[in-house]
Amino acid sequence: MSSRDRILAKLNAAPVLPKAVPDIASWYATHRFEETTAEKVARFRGCIEFAHAEVYAVTQATWPQKLCEVLNTKQIEKLLVAPATPHGQRATEVLTETGITFRAYDQSIEAWREEMFHDVPASLTGARGAIAETGTLVLWPDADEPRLMSLLPPVHIVLIDVNTIHNTFYEMMQSEGWSGSLPTNALLISGPSKTADIQVTLAYGAHGPKELIVLLMGEAS
């Protein structure tokens, strides 16, 4: 018998009383309420700002300009972009005019590991959606916009459409049918990387981005 078989045999031998299927839907129905987009935006913003993210209200037309402004204020000279995404494409066009260089994530990490680990000060990614309840960005990295983009650069800039904000994590995975379509890596990000491991003193930029900047697209400015 293998370890697998022995473990399963022991578990199967246990007399187990059946338990009812948990009714998660009705808990959410009675404890979390539908909100208007404006209310969700306000809640999302309040939470993620509390977690130390910088949030800027932008529109479809103004976000590239805000992006440049942010990069200039922070004196960032190079931005990592995903050129195959619409926002990555747009960013490259705008950056070319301003003189800020951009680096495209267009080859596998093995080809440029050193540079990615040491020499990429900032990145721009999109987000699939957000969660108002907890001030959370939801990213589904893929071939065009890989996992490490939102992790290694010290500054991570995220573009998010306010119409994709959901009330709760539960609502989002239900309405989008996540259980049948998860990517290799799905991420919830709710602020810059942080730790309180030394004497419960909060410090940012533990291993991931020190700064998280959210361009909130569609919010009335």
Partner 1 sequence: MSDHALSFMPSEGFRARSKEVVENPFLRKSFRGAMDFLINKRVTQFPSAEELETLRTLGEQIRQYNLANLPSLLVQLEDSLTRNGIKVHWAETPDEANAIILGICQAHSAKLMVKGKSMVSEEIELNHACEAAGIEAMESDMGEYIVQLAGEKPSHIIMPAIHKTKEEIATLFHEKVEGVDYTDNVDELIQIGRRVLREKFLVADIGLSGVNFAVAETGTLCLVENEGNGRLSTTAPPVHIAITGIEKIVEKLDHVPPLLSLLTRSATGQNISTYFNMISGPRKADEKDGPTEMHLVLLDNGRTQAYADEELRKTLQCIRCGACMNHCPVYTRVGGHAYGTTYPGPIGKIISPHMLGLEATKTMATASTLCGACGEVCPVKIPIPELLMRLREESFSEPHANPAMRGQGAGYSRLITMVWQGWALVYRSPMLYGTYSWLASRFNWLTPSNQGPWTTVRVPLKPAPKRLRDLLKDKS
By CB under 8 A, the residues from 159 to 178 that bind partner 1 are 168-170, 173-174, 178
Q: Does 34 bind partner 1 (CB under 8 A)?
A: no
Place of tokens 């680990």: 117
Q: Which long-range contacts (CB under 8 A, 24 or more apart) does 90-96 make?
A: 90/64, 91/64, 91/67, 91/124, 93/64, 94/64, 94/65, 94/67, 94/68, 95/68
Give the binding range for partner 1 (CB under 8 A) out of 66-74, 89-97, 110-118, 213-221.
110-118
Contact between 121 and 133 (Cβ < 8 Å): no
Give the binding range for partner 1 (CB under 8 A) out of 62-70, 87-95, 119-127, 192-200.
192-200
When binding is defined by CB under 8 A, the residue of 36, 73, 75, 179 that contacts partner 1 is 179
Q: How far is the CB of 196 from partner 1 (least distance, A)?
A: 7
In the region spanning residues 198 to 217, those forming contacts with partner 1, defined by CB under 8 A, are: 198-201, 203, 205-209
- The residues, any chain, with a CB within 8 Å of residue 36's CB and separated by 6 or more, are none
What's the rounded Cα separation, in Å, for the pair 89 and 69?
Answer: 18
- The residues, any chain, with a CB within 8 Å of residue 3's CB and separated by 6 or more, are none
**CA distances in angstroms from 20 to 17, 26, 86, 174, listed in the order given:** 10, 14, 47, 21
Select from 126, 125, 65 the least CA-distant residue to 100.
65
Q: How far is the CB of 1 from partner 1 (least distance, A)?
A: 10
Q: How many residues lie near partner 1 (CB under 8 A)?
A: 75
DSSP assignment string, 126-142:
E-SEEETTTTEEEE---
Q: How far is the CB of 76 from partner 1 (least distance, A)?
A: 18
In the region spanning residues 111 to 170, those forming contacts with partner 1, defined by CB under 8 A, are: 113-114, 117, 133-136, 142-143, 146-148, 151, 168-170
Q: Does 2 bind partner 1 (CB under 8 A)?
A: yes
When binding is defined by CB under 8 A, the residue of 16, 40, 56, 59 that contacts partner 1 is 16
Q: Does 83 bind partner 1 (CB under 8 A)?
A: no
Q: Does 218 bind partner 1 (CB under 8 A)?
A: no
